[in-house]
Structure 1
């Protein structure tokens, strides 16, 4: 399993994110993923810089690590033709190290342009059509597209990397796998469920995970020498995680997430997120993804102000533990 580091835009400003990206590469992480948000989940996180500007800086500042959006919604806040252009540009800046991670989005980030937030079935229809547009533009040909949700008029990507840009798509169950596995290069998921990998590999037309495709997961951790402080920080900034994506996709504001999670207890958070100095506890949580068949896993260290110490003190020993 390749171990990655999450550049979480909800908890750090743009210059710090570039610093953490360089630090994570130096610490030995294999790849880095970046969230693409307009809002943080909770006000206590306090940040939401524009991910694609930061990605350009990260691509220039790093040399070895693979990069990925985790994930971008190419349907409402961004038109897919624009996503195709900026993904191609980042791939050129990254010298082929970039993967475009896509998903159907959250109301939290997409509502800002004043469009109606569609039902989940419509969101998935839009995502499927958006992937079609992006793939067409990444051929370098002149594209006209008149679909149910998007129009593209005489568009062409002029600065295009050889081979386009690989695409990972977020899936959560049988229906989304059946629809998106044949359209994607890689699986993206945040739960260590073996049935996701198995279902993907059983889908006709899907690239095989363990072969050409990767299964890319993500897990939050809250490393800190003080376990109590770690639990407190995880509860303050990451209790939104307890709602599950059926809730997380539809709430429009940080106030909504604060209200929806007001009864989540500290012990609830500590029971689902490894908190404190115990690297073995983190390794046990990571092992669940390995057992489920994931090939890649990105760690989220909770707390923007705690990244530097994590990278300096914990990242090296933790990576050594995980790889052994």
Structure 2
């Protein structure tokens, strides 16, 4: 059975509401929680961006069953990789082993707050070094590391769960799939592309989890949902090569000034039709993903969505 997730999107809710949404998602019957780990919202209309890690700790303490995962943490600029390993292990303890660390190379939007955003070639080198640091620290090893980008004179994570925290890596092409197959316990992809899973398998990922995420906007009024998606989600179609480079929320607004409402609504199901939302989820299932998280676009609609998901959407998804 595919694990059905709910996304705590830090860009569209404050920390107190996010904790409440996590508790409600567990009560509704979701299998796992994803949480975004950003410094800025994508566009100013979203209006939020609290630190994900305190929220994770609170959600871990307030829940008992649901699996937890960052989607995604970048360990190359804003966080040093040794600190990421410590944070992840702490949440692993607080959650009694329910936490998986999701890693990606990040975006200028969130990482430039601590310094210049490196060139993509350098970022890939930094990311590989980061996972070489994180992996042994999660596993309880004392680490001494000297690389081209990071120095760890000596590090050891003292508080760890009984079973070491696992981590999954985002991938979008052959090299990143190879890295994920070599180092990670799972693959993350933002598009339902079977070729990525095939490359991951060939690199050593056979039998490991594959995590995806799909955006929807449920509500009783389809027209209102379309407006919400256009207002808050029109940046998503830019593609990762563009999204990784833009530095500010106003940059995303400028880059999408000619996007139309119908352009966004064509890729994000909107309104009350459960079958439209199921079809979006099904594309990831058909591609071979084992874990698929849902993003309900629109901050104020989260409680309404979670109640509807409990009563209507989740029973339907369990039939797949």
| CA–CA distance in structure 1, aligned partners of residues 284 and 141 of structure 2 | 39
| CA–CA distance in structure 1, aligned partners of residues 143 and 41 of structure 2 | 35
Mapped pair 1:264 → 2:262: no
Correspondence for 1:311 = 306
Gaps (5+ residues) in structure 2? none
Aligned residue among 214, 225, 228 for 2:220:
225
**Does the Cα contact within 8 Å between 1:242 and 1:264 map onto a contact in 2?**
no
**Does the Cα contact within 8 Å between 2:108 and 2:117 map onto a contact in 1?**
yes
| Partner SS, residue 264 of structure 2 | helix
Correspondence for 1:235 = 230
Mapped pair 1:252 → 2:250: no
| CA–CA distance in structure 2, aligned partners of residues 321 and 196 of structure 1 | 27
| CA–CA distance in structure 2, aligned partners of residues 15 and 136 of structure 1 | 34
Mapped pair 1:323 → 2:318: yes
Correspondence for 1:106 = 107
Gaps (5+ residues) in structure 1? none
- Segment drifting more, 141-150 vs 269-278: 141-150
| CA–CA distance in structure 2, aligned partners of residues 304 and 262 of structure 1 | 22
| CA–CA distance in structure 2, aligned partners of residues 217 and 289 of structure 1 | 7
| CA–CA distance in structure 2, aligned partners of residues 156 and 70 of structure 1 | 25
- Once the two structures are TM-superposed, the CA of residue 313 in structure 1 deviates from its matched residue by 2.5
- Segment drifting more, 191-200 vs 35-44: 191-200
Root-mean-square deviation (CA), in Å?
Answer: 1.0
**Does the Cα contact within 8 Å between 1:218 and 1:297 map onto a contact in 2?**
yes
Q: Describe the superposition over 1:224-259 as per-residue Cα deviations: whole angstroms up to 9, x where unpaired.
A: 100000000000000010101111101010000000
| Partner SS, residue 262 of structure 2 | helix
**Does the Cα contact within 8 Å between 2:7 and 2:293 map onto a contact in 1?**
yes
Correspondence for 1:201 = 201
- TM-score between both structures, scaled by the size of structure 2: 0.97
Correspondence for 1:95 = 96
